[in-house]
Amino acid sequence: MWGELAARLDLGAGAIVGAPVVRRRLSDLKGCFADAAGYEAALALGDPLVYTVSSVGAGNGSGDLHYGLGVLYPGRVGDEYFMTKGHLHSRREAAEVYIGLRGEGRMLLEDEATGESRLEPLGEGRVVYVPGHAAHRTINTGDVPLVYIGVYPADAGHDYGAIADRNFRMVVVRREGRAMMVERDGLNVH
Ligand code: PAN
Ligand code: ZN
């Protein structure tokens, strides 16, 4: 027997109605920003909400899909835009589709094997395919919340450990008013 198949997005509230919500604050993003001093300075001023994810998993069989609605708020630590923690899927071959609903941002992808990095536009009317074996992180480069849906295999799992240990090789910063990707090593943080 099927359970609930339909859901309603409350884009104003930034949630899937009735779905559990995970909230990530700046203090949950330790180690994500290249500018460690800037991060501590920002935290000393407060601990803003950076993003929320409400998720729906209607089935857990092989072949089932889960999805989540992400709302990533605008903000920066120094030159670095607010971002998600980022992860690989525990089942590495599991891919994902991101569908942008509102706002303006980027998806940072990094191939675990080769280190190849890509920065793809994610925002209203944009779709990004995240291949298997790709670490992925969402970045809000705009002035309003970035709202998107991610759809992934039910058995993908989230592996945050690998990224927490070594972080992404690339960092997305605001330079002359626009977003660009630069190497973390060699980034001069003032
Ligand atoms: C997304 C992410 C969401 C939050 O639903 O979970 O963008 O990012 P973190 O999980 O890295 O905190 C997804 O990619 N699911 O697999
Ligand atoms: Zn994912």
Q: Does ligand 1 come within 6 angstroms of the Cβ of 68? A: yes
What amino acid is encoded at 118 in this protein? R
Rg (CA), the chain: 16
Of all protein residues, the one whose alpha carbon is nearest to atom 7 of ligand 1 is 70
Q: What's residue 189's pLDDT?
A: 55
Asked whether residue 148 carries a pLDDT value surpassing 80, the answer given is yes
**Residue 51 Cα, ligand 1 centroid: separation in angstroms?**
10
- Eight-state DSSP code of residue 34: S
Q: What's residue 188's pLDDT?
A: 62
- Taken in order 83, 161, 188, 37, the sign of the CA dihedral is positive
Atom of ligand 1 nearest to the CA of 68: 5
Helix (H, G, I), strand (E, B) or coil at 41: helix
Note the pLDDT tens digit of each residue in 31-89: 999 999 999 999 999 999 999 999 999 889 999 999 999 999 999 999 999 999 999 99
Q: Which H, E and C letters describe 86-143, residue by residue?
A: CEEECCCCCCEEEEEEECEEEEEEEECCCCCEEEEEEECCCEEEECCCEEEEEEECCC
pTM of the model: 0.96
Of the pLDDT bands very low, low, confident and very high (cuts 50, 70, 90), residue 135 is very high
What six digits make up the tokens of 148? 């998107």
Of all protein residues, the one whose alpha carbon is nearest to atom 16 of ligand 1 is 152
Asked whether residue 176 carries a pLDDT value surpassing 70, the answer given is yes
Q: Does ligand 1 come within 6 angstroms of the Cβ of 150? A: yes
The CA distance from 127 to 125, in Å, is: 7
Q: What's residue 66's pLDDT?
A: 98
What is the pLDDT averaged over residues 136-155? 98
Atom of ligand 1 nearest to the CA of 72: 7
Atom of ligand 1 nearest to the CA of 67: 5
Residues around the ion ligand 2 (C-beta < 5 A): 96
Q: Provide the percentage of residues in the chain whose pLDDT is more than 90.
A: 91
